Structure 1
């Protein structure tokens, strides 16, 4: 398991996987729609083999799939989800797995999302559809379900660049968070131990925080107050019914408990929220604010 293709290679998660694999002597093919971007150039400088391509043109990737042992499959994020975008994602994911099966890829690691199985009740064709297809196929493979990315706090939708914390989640519901670098590390561990992980689904996340706890941590680290803006559920329904139903699910049921003991047997230390803020987050938030001013 030495030659790995990483899709979405210039994204937060994909690039974390690429860099981690390169550091551990894997040969990495980085799939990107724009190999001339600065992010793609950084991957190339680190030693990745850039491949221009798009999972929507699966057949165009046939020769590439023949060259690799493993596939890290992460699909492009959709910020305003709908029944149509869910179905399209499921279709692309399954088509990609079929090609991996046809071209003899030895192991596929699919990155899904925490709680994908619970979302299946109101998203009948989505990430859980892809998970089931992979694990029921003839391929060797595994699924990881990352929790909310700490890096998502840097997106404009959270408003930190403007001194706000815009929160769409239930105010008192604690959820798990993960740094994307930790996803990269865990993915590398899985590729190094593919036999032990074959057929497994791993929920991957760290300590639970409520939105108000995240706010307090941000205020402490920035040493200033931040406006807490709670987005009403009605407003979420106007933007995206599927996302609103996800928020309702989190409020009513929460996520299933993460098996921290299992994670710790393979990766003893995940990045803590405070540690991430100290090393990466606060600097990036200040950069956002300087850009807005």
Structure 2
């Protein structure tokens, strides 16, 4: 077992201590078992370690005064269980080995996500921080200062987080290649932590929220059923998340699905303000909702899909 001290490239001044697992018969100068090395935030390949893992739980407090993704901020404020991943996207002929690692880990986490609906997953391309002075100015997929706040050194970077008092604890942190079985066990351990979160266990993803032409109301929204069972959206609601506190309840401003709207596993459906609304794919909406004519929503605001019991199913930035 070798101790490796890695200085984060995300803008932090601290040096993070990590443990590099070195299998018997190998050295830290080459990746073990054919597993490629990591990829720095700037794009350079880090030779050697097959896996870097944090030595112990690390406290983390999000600086809400700096620009961070609004949906991540909302999950943090709600004290949800969180997994955040930074990876390098696309093809780069200079670093084919490093990008292979990012693709493998990102794909493995995507495969595991449906098994842990109580966890909120966030994934960001390290090459797209965005240029914004506030969280609301960030575009979808941009991460602002989040990588700097988390001391991201090289990718793939995976952090699993649980609320602890007024802050969070990073329970597992991986940089570089990590096997799917290790990620699965870490996710299982994460979900064993009891938290006072109102996250739903229904596997539905909020894909699109289209605003009306005036008044900041909602024209329609689209969801995808990632679960194994057919769901009925009647009684579900789309609510505005308080940007200051991250709070969202069934009493928050929003809309509520007012008729039976069934969605089969693996299928998508849209719900609109009136029956003749057509979504971005040219399909008529499957059902309708009531309310929400004058929500004053603006690009950058966060909304949450709540199940019929008021628990948060998913969030999205409009």
Normalising by the residue count of structure 2, what TM-score does the alignment of the two structures yield? 0.27
Q: Give 1 or 2 for the bigger CA radius of gyration.
A: 2
Higher helix share: 1
Higher strand share: 2
